[in-house]
């Protein structure tokens, strides 16, 4: 089985000051993110992103916008030696349609756990919203709540020191 660190996107990997981020130009990596992800990767954690992108359901941006931002994010991380195994996103919003994948829903976690044979007891979720933590805890994964745009490095140190 694999251990993994799940990551929220906006406010964790990139600047989440704007409510929506859907262009490459407005996608800015947060301080410490490269260092933190590298630490986790070197310690053997698979890195998986799970993000709510309700702007799609609301018609603010398209699936193509989401996927182009994700391609950019994955490429920029890969250039720095960091591999993201999978980026899962929910394009829905309860005002438009209900779903099981929007956090605090657990469907995307369940899909990842099954697809990559993840050991929930050795895995973590880093998020800047209570719904990130709530979703993780429902599937038995320990949640780590950070402030929006805070460096993940101290939390990565904590994860690694608990091994």
Q: How many Cβ atoms are within 10 Å of 38's Cβ, its own excluded? A: 17
CA distance 36 to 60: 31
> Is 8 a residue of the active site?
yes
> By rule CB under 5 A, what string of x and - marks binding of each residue 84-123 to Mg ion?
----------------------------------------
Q: Does 54 bind Mg ion (CB under 5 A)?
A: no
Among the options 10, 65, 128, 132, which is catalytic? 10
Taking the least distance from each CB to Mg ion, the nearer of 47 and 122 is 47
Rounded to a whole number of angstroms, the minimum distance from the CB of residue 11 to Mg ion is: 4
H or E stretch at 42? helix 33-42
Q: Does 10 bind Mg ion (CB under 5 A)?
A: yes
**CA 102 distance to own-chain centroid:** 12
Q: Between the CA of residue 91 and those of 52, 103, 114, what are the distances in Å?
A: 7, 11, 21
Rounded to a whole number of angstroms, the minimum distance from the CB of residue 54 to Zn ion is: 8
3-state secondary structure 55-118: CCCCCCCCHHHHHHHHHHHHHHHHHCCCCCCEEEEECCCCCCCCCCCCCCCCHHHHHHHHHCCE
**Residue whose CB is nearest to Mg ion in the complex, by number:** 11
> Is 119 a residue of the active site?
no
Taking the least distance from each CB to Zn ion, the nearer of 59 and 162 is 59
Taking the least distance from each CB to Zn ion, the nearer of 69 and 108 is 108
Binding residues for Zn ion, rule: CB under 5 A, are 90, 92, 99, 101-102
Q: Which residues are catalytic?
A: 8, 10
């Amino acid at each position: 089985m694999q251990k993994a660190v799940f990551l929220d996107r906006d406010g964790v990997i990139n600047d989440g000051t704007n409510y929506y981020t859907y262009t490459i130009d407005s996608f800015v990596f947060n301080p410490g993110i490269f260092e933190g992800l590298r630490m986790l990767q070197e310690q053997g954690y698979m890195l998986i992103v799970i993000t709510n992108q309700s702007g799609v359901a609301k018609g603010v941006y398209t699936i193509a916008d989401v996927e182009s931002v994700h391609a950019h994010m994955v490429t920029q991380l890969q250039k720095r030696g960091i591999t993201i195994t999978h980026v899962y996103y929910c394009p829905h919003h309860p005002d438009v349609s209900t779903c099981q994948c929007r956090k605090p829903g657990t469907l995307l976690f369940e899909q990842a756990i099954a697809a990559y044979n993840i050991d929930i007891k050795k895995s973590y979720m880093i998020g800047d919203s209570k719904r990130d933590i709530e979703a993780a805890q429902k599937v038995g994964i320990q949640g780590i709540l950070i402030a929006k745009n805070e460096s993940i490095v101290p939390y990565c140190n904590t994860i690694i020191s608990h091994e």
